[in-house]
Amino acid sequence: MEEVIRVRLPEGNEVFGLVEEMLGAGRFRVTCSDGNERICRVSGKFKKKAWIRPGDVVLIMPWEVQSDERGDIIFKYKRAQIDWLRNKGYIEW
């Protein structure tokens, strides 16, 4: 019997990302599923909810300006959600 897991999937321009490096001041270097490497920031309200570290899988909303270089981190996936995404083929990391 398979356990039911709620997983937020990308909508619109959103892409999956893997946090590579902490840059400070709420910014991170993230490798995205569309092949781009972006400098992403964490908004203030999300910063207090989830601690983000290198190796975490996150959901990125690219900026409208500089969309291939910058973005916002809007969601952090938990371990069970990451396993589900790998099993279903959404991510390869």
| 30 located within any domain | yes
| 5 located within any domain | no
pLDDT in tens, 33-84: 999 999 999 977 777 788 999 999 999 999 999 999 999 999 999 999 999 9
CATH (domain of 74): 2.40.50.140
Give the CA angle between residues 77, 83, 87 to the nearest 5°: 130
For 49, half-sphere exposure in the C-beta direction (CA atoms, 13 angstrom radius) is 10
Residue 2 has what pLDDT? Answer: 62
Asked if the model's pLDDT at residue 30 lies above 60, the reply is: yes
pLDDT in tens, 2-17: 666 789 999 999 999 9
User: What whole-number distance in Å separates Cα of residue 66 and Cα of residue 87?
Assistant: 32
| 71 located within any domain | yes
**How many domains, the chain?**
1
